[in-house]
Amino acid sequence: MLRLRLRPPLARGRTAAAPFDRFMIDRHEMDRGTPQAPADDKTGRMNTMTNDVNAHRTSVSRRTVLRWGGAGLAGLGAAGLMPAHRVLADDLTKLSFQLSWLKSIQYGGYFAALENGYFADEGLEVTFVSGGPNIDPLANVAAGQSQIGDRPIGPILVAREKGIPIKVIGTVYQKSPFAIMSPADKPITSVEDLKGKVLSTGSSSRPLIEYLLKQAGMSASDVQMVPHSPDPAALVAGQIDGYLGYATNQGVMLKSRGFDIYSLNVSEMGVPETTGTIYAREDYLEEHGDEVTNFLVGAIRGWKWAIAHPDETAKLMVETYGAPGLDFDAQKAEIIASEELIATGAAGGDKLLNIDVPFFQTVIDTYAAAGLIAGNITADELCAPQYIEAALARVA
pLDDT, tens digit (0-9, with 9 covering 90-100), for 275-293: 999 999 999 999 999 999 9
Q: What per-residue confidence (pLDDT) applies to 138? A: 97
pLDDT digits (tens, 9 = 90+) for 104-162: 999 999 999 999 999 999 999 999 999 998 999 999 999 999 999 999 999 999 999 99
Output the CA–CA distances (angstroms, integers) from residue 195 to 192, 209, 237, in the order listed.
6, 12, 20
Mean confidence (pLDDT) of the chain: 84
pLDDT digits (tens, 9 = 90+) for 196-209: 999 999 888 899 89
Q: Is 59 in contact with 127 (CB distance < 8 Å)?
A: yes
Q: What percent of the chain has pLDDT over 70?
A: 78
What mean pLDDT do residues 39-66 have? 39
- DSSP-derived letter for residue 275 is E
Q: What per-residue confidence (pLDDT) applies to 59? A: 54
Q: Is 259 in contact with 332 (CB distance < 8 Å)?
A: no
Greatest C-alpha distance within the chain: 78
Q: What percent of the chain has pLDDT over 90?
A: 73
Q: Is 320 in contact with 46 (CB distance < 8 Å)?
A: yes
90 pLDDT band, cuts 50/70/90, is: confident
- The closest of 119, 118, 69 to 94, measured between CA atoms, is 119
All residues at 6 or more sequence positions from 80 whose CB lies less than 8 Å from its CB, including other chains:
1, 2, 3
All residues at 6 or more sequence positions from 268 whose CB lies less than 8 Å from its CB, including other chains:
none
Beta-bridge partners for 148: 97, 280
Domains of the chain, each with CATH number or no CATH: 19-176+274-395 (3.40.190.10), 178-269 (3.40.190.10)
DSSP track, 186-209: S---SGGGGTT-EEE--GGGHHHH
Q: What per-residue confidence (pLDDT) applies to 349? A: 87
All residues at 6 or more sequence positions from 124 whose CB lies less than 8 Å from its CB, including other chains:
92, 93, 94, 95, 291, 294, 295, 298
Q: What per-residue confidence (pLDDT) applies to 32? A: 52
pTM over 0.75? The answer is yes
242 pLDDT band, cuts 50/70/90, is: very high
What mean pLDDT do residues 316-338 have? 97
What mean pLDDT do residues 230-252 have? 96
What mean pLDDT do residues 246-275 have? 95
> What is the distance between the alpha carbons of residues 233 and 218, in angstroms, rounded to a whole number?
28
Q: What angle do CA 131, 98, 333 make, to 5 degrees?
A: 60
- DSSP-derived letter for residue 216 is T
> What is the distance between the alpha carbons of residues 382 and 360, in angstroms, rounded to a whole number?
8
